[in-house]
Amino acid sequence: MQKNIAVVGAGYVGIVSGACFAKLGSNVICVDVDEKKVESINKGKAPIYELDLDEILSSYRDRIHATIDYKSAIEGSEITFVCVGTPSLKDGGIDLSYVKQVVKNIGRILKDIDKWHDVVIKSTVLPGTSQNILLPILEKYSEKKAGKDFGLSMNPEFLREGTAAYDFLNPDRIVIGSFDNKSKEVLKKLYSDFDCPIIETSLSAAEMIKYASNCFLGTKISFINEIGNFCKEIGVDTYEVADGVGLDKRIGRAFLNSGIGWGGSCFPKDINALICWAKQNGYSSKILDDVVKVNDIQPLKLVELLKKHIPNLKGKKIGVLGLAFKPNTDDIRESRAIPIILKLTEEGAQIKVYDPKAMDNFKQQFPNIKIHYCSSADEVLGSDAVLITTIWDEFKNLDYSGKIVIDGRRLEKAKSAKIYEGVCW
Ligand code: UGA
């Protein structure tokens, strides 16, 4: 079903959703305060790197545009998706200021619009936020009533960085949390061409589904890492265990790859936010606290294993393959390579690193750490020992023979090293 859609926030959720809605036939106008992003989108070029995104944007240029002007975008649309970021606060909670400001702006514009308009929250917000915080702001600034004069829904995203466009177009499910029936029906029609279950919920249940999904996936990884730590002690290969366990349909094999843990912009932010929210609401999150603890110790296991072979790291050349939190991205947010490199620095090692995409980001974020940035993965192999921290394709065919390799991500070829240790196998 085609619609005129405004998308506020051209970050990775907004631009991917906007581009995919355009591909599916809707007319999309992206609103962003960043004029550079707006210019880039209007030239048919994505402001971020995501697989397939440039191709979608350039193929459907007639159906997707960008502007800094909220008013014209919202007036010309029937639905507005709110896709701005909700970054972490120091206490683990989330900063709602961008979402609140956007909703305020939308409210002010709705005040002067005579027709029905649906506001859809796609930003990741804690349970209760749409109902208790955003709805009152919309009503205050629009001087209108939700459900009577405008619609309000919550439609979380489940997009992985790097494959976000694919994930948008091939979802496992679509969750529509709604305040009112009319906006629910509008979204159901918008998504009617998708061949997947559509779940209809309350606003707060939709918000919780997003958090529970990410928390469960993070838990699954920490769980297999804990099992992996036991396996390592008794000489069992955790990957054989994961294969055997994962065939149970109730469990599934996905996200049972043990290693040095989860990073990125989503799992750490969302898991800590739910822990913080639980505390603020008088609950204590026993499982999630431990999920985070396991994830915190996991990367340092790599250094412990390294010290089994080189007890004193002072002055030793230690190579690190990979800085990105996962392959195919330049994102280093909460990358497991960070605590490893900090620990190596503390131990006085001379660090050599290589990452195909993330070295600039690392240099920028850690200008004071003394690191030798190599121009190729091969150059890193000329170290006293090598740690594998991100499983980039180009690391899969290197010649590891004669090396000491400590593997945090299960790289089969590295098993040919002179000394090879896997973190959980
Ligand atoms: C994650 C979720 O997978 C998406 O569904 C969600 O929409 C997104 O967060 C979000 O909330 O926006 P993403 O952070 O892009 O996506 O990354 P993942 O591919 O899920 O990987 C996260 C981390 O877990 C990476 O550091 C990865 O190396 C690690 N991981 C993943 C493992 O250690 N083992 C596994 O088996 C799988």
Going by alpha carbons, the residue nearest to atom 37 of ligand 1 is 255
Q: How confident is the model at residue 378 (pLDDT cuts 50, 70, 90)?
A: very high
> How many CB atoms sit inside 10 A of residue 54's CB?
15
Enumerate residues lining ligand 1, CB below 6 A.
Answer: 157-161, 214, 217, 221, 255-257, 259, 261-264, 266-267, 270, 325-326
- What pLDDT shows up at residue 166? 97
CA of 271 to the centre of ligand 1 (A): 12
Ligand 1 nearest atom to the CA of residue 335, by list position: 26
Ligand 1 nearest atom to the CA of residue 163, by list position: 15
User: What gap in Å lies between CA 55 and CA 61, rounded to an integer?
Assistant: 10
Ligand 1 nearest atom to the CA of residue 259, by list position: 33
CA of 198 to the centre of ligand 1 (A): 23
CA of 223 to the centre of ligand 1 (A): 15
- What pLDDT shows up at residue 35? 97
| Distance, CA of 345 to chain centre | 28
Going by alpha carbons, the residue nearest to atom 3 of ligand 1 is 160
Going by alpha carbons, the residue nearest to atom 7 of ligand 1 is 158
Q: What share of the chain has pLDDT > 90, as a percent? A: 97
> How many CB atoms sit inside 10 A of residue 281's CB?
10
- What pLDDT shows up at residue 31? 98
Assess whether pLDDT exceeds 80 at residue 233.
yes
> How many CB atoms sit inside 10 A of residue 312's CB?
10
- Residue of 209, 222, 326 best suited for mutating to test ligand 1, as the one with most atoms within 8 Å of CB: 326
CA of 333 to the centre of ligand 1 (A): 12
In the Cβ-directed half-sphere of 47, how many Cα atoms lie within 13 Å? 23
Going by alpha carbons, the residue nearest to atom 17 of ligand 1 is 160
List, in order of start, the domains of the chain with CATH numbers.
4-201 (3.40.50.720), 211-297 (3.40.50.720), 300-422 (3.40.50.720)
As a whole number, mean pLDDT of residues 400-413 equals 97
Instruction: Give residue-wise pLDDT tens across range 139-163.
Output: 999 999 999 999 999 999 999 999 9
CA of 142 to the centre of ligand 1 (A): 38
CA of 262 to the centre of ligand 1 (A): 7
Q: What share of the chain has pLDDT > 70, as a percent? A: 100
Ligand 1 nearest atom to the CA of residue 221, by list position: 34
Assess whether pLDDT exceeds 90 at residue 48.
no
Ligand 1 nearest atom to the CA of residue 263, by list position: 26
Instruction: Give residue-wise pLDDT tens across range 175-229.
Output: 999 999 999 999 999 999 999 999 999 999 999 999 999 999 999 999 999 999 9
Mind telling me the catalytic residues? 266
- Residue of 88, 157, 217, 332 best suited for mutating to test ligand 1, as the one with most atoms within 8 Å of CB: 217
- What pLDDT shows up at residue 168? 98
Q: How confident is the model at residue 244 (pLDDT cuts 50, 70, 90)?
A: very high
Assess whether pLDDT exceeds 80 at residue 1.
no
- Residue of 83, 221, 224, 226 best suited for mutating to test ligand 1, as the one with most atoms within 8 Å of CB: 221
Instruction: Give residue-wise pLDDT tens across range 343-371.
Output: 999 999 999 999 999 999 999 999 999 99
Instruction: Indicate the average pLDDT of the chain.
Output: 97
- Residue of 51, 83, 94, 160 best suited for mutating to test ligand 1, as the one with most atoms within 8 Å of CB: 160
CA of 103 to the centre of ligand 1 (A): 29
Going by alpha carbons, the residue nearest to atom 4 of ligand 1 is 160
Ligand 1 nearest atom to the CA of residue 260, by list position: 33
Length of the chain: 425
